[in-house]
Amino acid sequence: CKSCYFLSLIHRWCRCSLNSKVDEFGKVSVMRKVPVMKDGSFILTERYEQRIMGKLHCHPSVPAAETSSLVPDHWYPDLQLRARVNEYLSWQHMTIRAQGSKVFLLRAMFPIIMGSEAPKDKMDAAVEELKQSVDLLEQKFLQDKAFLVSDRICVADVVAVVELMQVQEDARPKLVAWRQRVTAELGPKLFDETLQDSGALDLLRPKFQKLFS
């Protein structure tokens, strides 16, 4: 949902409260989860981030004579590059996202919630899984390009950078350079605002305690 939040901030289009326990938000998302997008009576809910990105790009309220998009074409480009974007978005859910989330939970949340470091064997296994996926991201998607799909930033980069902020910088100069380019394109101020603490830890603490117990 952070990646959808990036684009909604850039183009001042549609934003929902990140507090999924608010009653008003529950009327938009029955599952009370993010990301979710509401455009009139049309609603897309969590796990459909790829569709939300496409909807942002092909919004019918903007006259075709002016543009067919709420965002510049490079975010979700021509058909061949769009297929590459979709390829990455489909791949990353069970790799970069799942493994990155696991590392984050063990490294950052486990000590806060449980009061001790995560077991070393679990931490090492999670880091190794993420390492293998980041290797593949560099080899297959980034290669020698400026961004994941082409030499212009697109939604794949925005989705990826949110998951890869925790990757160690010293051993991955190519990834670091890409991340710096993404930050520069988005703007450091917007980047920092989007990734700041949402204050949701207290809300999620019982869920994490149950997960780690």
Kindly state the DSSP code that residue 137 receives in the 8-state scheme: I
Question: How far from each other are the two terminal CA atoms of the chain, in whole angstroms?
Answer: 27
pLDDT attached to residue 204: 57
Q: Kindly report the CATH number assigned to the domain that includes residue 163.
A: 1.20.1050.10
Answer yes or no: do 42 and 95 share one domain.
no
| Residue at which a domain ends, from 71, 100, 115 | 71
Answer yes or no: do 94 and 197 share one domain.
yes
Q: How far apart are CA 63 and CA 116, in angstroms?
A: 56
pLDDT digits (tens, 9 = 90+) for 34-83: 666 666 776 666 554 555 555 555 444 444 434 344 556 656 667 778 88
CB 124 within 8 A of CB 152: no
| Residue at which a domain ends, from 12, 46, 71 | 71
Say what the pTM is.
0.64
What SS3 class is residue 197?
coil
CB 5 within 8 A of CB 15: yes
pLDDT attached to residue 201: 54
Answer yes or no: do 179 and 116 share one domain.
yes
Q: Where does 15-167 show beta strands of DSSP type E?
A: 37-39, 42-44
3-state helix, strand, coil split of the chain in percent (to 5) is 60, 5, 35
Answer yes or no: do 8 and 93 share one domain.
no
Answer yes or no: do 195 and 103 share one domain.
yes
What residues of the chain score a pLDDT lower than 70? 1-23, 25, 28-39, 42-77, 169, 194-213
Answer yes or no: do 94 and 181 share one domain.
yes
pLDDT attached to residue 24: 72
User: Residue 30: which domain range?
Assistant: 2-71
Q: How far apart are CA 206 and CA 213, in angstroms?
A: 11
Closest CA to 100 of 52, 160, 151: 160
Give kind and range of the element (H or E) at residue 23: helix 23-28
Answer yes or no: do 145 and 42 share one domain.
no
Answer yes or no: do 39 and 110 share one domain.
no
pLDDT attached to residue 63: 41
Contacts of 23 (CB under 8 A, 6+ apart): none
Q: Kindly report the CATH number assigned to the domain that includes residue 33.
A: 3.40.30.10
pLDDT attached to residue 112: 84
> Count of domains in the chain?
2
Give the gyration radius of the chain's Cα atoms.
Answer: 18
pLDDT attached to residue 143: 94
| Residue at which a domain ends, from 54, 71, 88 | 71
Per-residue tokens: 86: 């979709």
Answer yes or no: do 36 and 121 share one domain.
no
Answer yes or no: do 89 and 170 share one domain.
yes
For residue 47, give Cα distances in angstroms to 29, 104, 124, 173, 194: 12, 19, 28, 31, 20
Answer yes or no: do 26 and 128 share one domain.
no
Answer yes or no: do 110 and 130 share one domain.
yes
* 202, burial (CB in 10 Å: exposed 0-12, middle 13-18, buried 19+): exposed
